[in-house]
Structure 1
């Protein structure tokens, strides 16, 4: 790191807003610990050479990052490979509680694993997001239930997100935050 206050880019691709909210939460956690953080969607991401580390997140559809996140990683491989990178995803996988869902949820999807390895990311963490029933056809609702979907709505685990944010801050050797945490 080039300064006493590490510069961290938190870059994300979102489909319905859950990923943006999680990215902002992670950024707030790192800021409270003393990092200088900039948050942006991949389409408006800052020049990565200005940063000491990157946290990159994407919504997951069909076990893949959104196309704009995949394109961003491919276009910025050199910059991402030059700094510590942490990846996260937001989807329903981590919320699934049935045996089939736990099996799927416990594995890194091959396309995401390939991107993670290609840029040498330090870690990858999937998080649950929102899954609303409205607009979901009967087949998808049935599959969701068969895979152990517990319920519809906000499935995010803010404690798990904070724990992961803390691990990123610890890896960056940031001082501990001194305030009381309240999830969004």
Structure 2
């Protein structure tokens, strides 16, 4: 590849695959703009020094990023604060509706905010993930409904994900996309 090609690491921590799907979509969208992409789960992340930008994504459990992502950020803190970094999380919050649900969905949990702020990414976005009813306790389903959860299944907003990715591409000065990625 040419030496002036923008190299981007897209690294993710996933629990059930929804975050991986979003990371793959982001990687495809940026590759369609000519970037050289290294897509990897966080446990197999490459050495960070050879990248122009780093995009980190993690599922949210118990109002915090997955432990593997938290550990990675803490271990690579100095490199991440010196790099162009974007961070996204995947959880239920952005899918909640109604006055209480929208308020909860806009609120960044304290542990996520603290980790985010410690590396000062150029951008952060919370996306809804995939939430199935099967295997969820009655208490959790009731709480989901009370907070404004409308339905189950794939709650991801692919248009919002593409919009956020486009803003990253503009920030990095990437050319127009040669094609539009197709979400899973």
TM-score normalised by L of structure 2: 0.96
Provide the aligned length of Structure 1 versus Structure 2.
Answer: 183
Quickly say closer, same or farther: Cα 1:110–1:60, change in 2 above 3 A.
Answer: same
CA RMSD of aligned residues (A): 1.3
Query: How far apart are 1:35 and its partner, in Å?
Result: 0.7
C-alpha distance in 2 between matches for 1:178 and 1:31:
9
- Equivalent in the alignment of 2:61: 61
- Equivalent in the alignment of 2:70: 70
Gaps of 5+ in 2: none
Residues 84-93 or 97-106, more deviating: 97-106
Residues 163-172 or 107-116, more deviating: 107-116
- Equivalent in the alignment of 1:128: 128
Q: Which has the higher contact order (CA 8 A, sep 6+)?
A: 2
Deviations 1:30-85 (A, max 9, x none): 10001111011110000001111100000001211011110110001011111110
Q: Is the 8 A contact 1:18 1:130 kept in 2?
A: yes
Query: How far apart are 1:117 and its partner, in Å?
Result: 1.3
Q: Is the 8 A contact 1:98 1:146 kept in 2?
A: no
Question: Runs in 1 of length 4+ with deviation above 2 angstroms?
Answer: 178-184
Matches within 5 A, 1:10-25: 10-25=10-25
Query: How far apart are 1:3 and its partner, in Å?
Result: 4.2
User: Helix, strand or coil: the match of 1:150?
Assistant: coil
- Equivalent in the alignment of 1:32: 32
User: Helix, strand or coil: the match of 2:159?
Assistant: helix
- Equivalent in the alignment of 1:117: 117
Gaps of 5+ in 1: none
C-alpha distance in 2 between matches for 1:164 and 1:27:
12
C-alpha distance in 1 between matches for 2:65 and 2:14:
10
Q: Is the 8 A contact 1:5 1:34 kept in 2?
A: yes
TM-score normalised by L of structure 1: 0.96
C-alpha distance in 1 between matches for 2:75 and 2:140:
33
